[in-house]
Amino acid sequence: MKVMVIGSGGREHALVWKLSQSEKVSQIYAVPGNAGTGKIATNVNISSDDLAGLLVFAQENDIDLTFVGPEAPLVAGIVDTFQEAGLRIFGPVKGAARLEGSKVYAKGFMKKYGIPTARYEVFSEPGQAIDYIKKTGAPLVVKAEGLAAGKGVTVARTEAEAIKAVEKIMVDARFGRAGDRIVIEECLEGEEATVLAFTDGKTIVPMLPSQDHKPAYDDDQGPNTGGMGAYGPAPVVDSEMREQIYREILIPTLEGLKKEGIVYKGVLYTGLMIEAGKISVLEYNVRFGDPETQVVLPLLKNDLVDVATAIIEGRLDQLEINWENKKSIIVIMASGGYPVSYEKGKVITGIEEAEDLYNLKVFQAGTKFVDGKYLTAGGRVLGVMATGDEFKEIIERAYDGVEKIHFSDAHYRDDIGFKALKGVE
C-alpha cells in the first residue's frame, strides 16, 4: 500500500517512522516532510496548505491512504476534498475540525453539552476586552480565536500582561484573521495533561495520557510554545481518572458531535487541567498532538494502518488497541529565540551519535539536508525520544542524547519529565 503523510514536523516524522514498521506499507510519501522523513520516505515538495496540489499528487500516484498531521489543512477541509474524490484519508471533516479552528465554537460546544471548562467571555473589539480585564483582574488566559501554531494563547499573571496579549492579537494582528475575535477565560490552576483518543464517530478509545511542557523555559516560565517536551503515561492521570475523563469528557464530546450532526473520524485531542481530582478541558485539537504523538506512538503495539482503516470503515469497536507496558519521554531542542525570532541554516551534528544510544530515537522537525549536512530550518528543530521501564532512567538517557547533538544557539529545557518523578504536585 502507498501511504502519504502530510506535514513537516516532528509529529510527521513519528507518523512516518511508525508507518514504516507496517508490513502493509510498501511506499511512504512525506509531503513536504523534513530531513528525518527523507531518510525513510520520499519527500515531496508540496505545501501542506495546497489542498489542490495534494489531491492531484494523491490521484496521480495512486495513494491508498493519507494521514494529515497539521491542523490547518483539516480546518480548510482537506478530508472533505479527498473523500469527494473517492480517496481514503485519516482525519475529521471540516465541520468537525471547527473544534480546533474556532476557540469560540469550541467553548460554546463545551458549554452546550456540559463538558467542564473554564468560565469565559468572547470579544471582537480590543477596547471592550481591555475594559473587561481591568474590571475582572488577573490572572487570566487570553486566546486568539483561530489557528496560531500553538502561540496564540497567553497565560497572563498580571493585568498588564493580559492587555499586552490583547493588543498583540487584535491591534498588532500578530496572527492575522485568527485574532479577529478573542476568548478571555479564567486561569485554572493545577497540572496539565493530554489525552488523545481514536474515534470513528461511534466508538471512542483513549490513548495513553501524556503531559506536554508548553512554556519555553524551566519551571514552566516564559512564553507559550508549540511544546518543549512531553512524557507518558502521565502519572497525574491514574486509572480512576482515566475512567473519569472517558465518562465526563470523551463520551459527552462524542455524543455532542452526534447531536450536531457530525461524524467525527480520526484523533481527538483533549488538553486538560487537573486540580484536586477536578478535570477541566483547556482546549480541543482535531489531530495528533505535537510533541505528544512522539511519546504515545512508540508505545502503541498495533499497526497504525490497521487502526486508521478500522476508523475510516467505522468498525473501531471490533479492534483491540494495545500498549507497551513502558514509559517514554521526548526533549525538544529548539532554535535560540524560539518562539519569537530565530535564525535558520545552523549546521547540526551528533544526530547519529545520539541514536546510537540504547532505545533512543531523534525525531526531526525544523530540519533540512543540504550538501551532506543537517541544517536548522525552523523553531523546534529536533526531539530526542527515549523509552524504557522507569522515568528516571529514560530522562537521563534522553538528556544523554541531547548532549550528543550540537547546533549554534540551541535551546532546550532541563526539566522535562521531572513532574513524573514527583507524582502529582
What's the CATH code of the domain at 247?
Answer: 3.30.470.20
Residues 77 and 226 in one domain: no
Q: Would residue 42 count as lying in a domain?
A: yes
Backbone φ and ψ for 401, nearest 5 degrees, come out as: -65, -40
Q: Would residue 159 count as lying in a domain?
A: no
Q: Would residue 136 count as lying in a domain?
A: no
The answer to whether the bond into 70 is cis (omega within 30° of 0) is no
pLDDT digits (tens, 9 = 90+) for 80-116: 999 999 999 999 999 999 999 999 999 999 999 999 9
* CATH number of the domain where residue 65 is located: 3.40.50.20
Average pLDDT value for residue range 144-164: 90
Average pLDDT value for residue range 113-125: 96
pTM of the model: 0.95
Domain range for 65: 2-94
Residue corresponding to grid cell 481527538: 268
Residue corresponding to grid cell 508540496: 46
Q: Predicted confidence band at 22 (pLDDT cuts at 50, 70, 90)?
A: very high
The residue from 35, 60, 94 where one domain ends is: 94
Q: Would residue 182 count as lying in a domain?
A: no
> Using an 8 Å Cβ cutoff, are 268 and 284 in contact?
yes
The per-residue pLDDT for 25 is 98
> Using an 8 Å Cβ cutoff, are 151 and 224 in contact?
yes
Residues 208 and 77 in one domain: no
Number of structural domains the chain divides into: 2
Q: Would residue 228 count as lying in a domain?
A: yes
Residues 85 and 225 in one domain: no
The per-residue pLDDT for 424 is 36
Q: Would residue 129 count as lying in a domain?
A: no
* Strand pairing class (65-68; 410-411): unpaired
pLDDT digits (tens, 9 = 90+) for 171-200: 999 999 999 999 999 999 999 999 999 999
The residue from 65, 94, 123 where one domain ends is: 94
pLDDT digits (tens, 9 = 90+) for 44-85: 999 999 999 999 999 999 999 999 999 999 999 999 999 999
Alpha-carbon span 319 to 199, nearest angstrom: 12
Q: Would residue 130 count as lying in a domain?
A: no
Alpha-carbon span 46 to 55, nearest angstrom: 11
The per-residue pLDDT for 152 is 87
| H or E element, residue 8 | none
For 181, which DSSP code? S
Query: What's the CA angle centered on 344, arms 416 and 57, to 5 degrees?
Result: 95
Residues 228 and 370 in one domain: yes
18: region left, alpha or beta (phi > 0 left; psi from -120 to 50 alpha): alpha
pLDDT digits (tens, 9 = 90+) for 380-391: 999 999 999 999
Q: Would residue 167 count as lying in a domain?
A: no
> Using an 8 Å Cβ cutoff, are 221 and 204 in contact?
no
Lowest-pLDDT range of 153-162, 360-369, 391-400 = 153-162
Residue corresponding to grid cell 489531530: 287
Q: Predicted confidence band at 422 (pLDDT cuts at 50, 70, 90)?
A: confident
Alpha-carbon span 6 to 70, nearest angstrom: 7
pLDDT digits (tens, 9 = 90+) for 288-332: 999 999 999 999 999 999 999 999 999 999 999 999 999 999 999
Alpha-helix residue ranges (DSSP H) falling in 158-202 = 159-166
Name the average pLDDT for the chain. 96
The residue from 55, 75, 94 where one domain ends is: 94
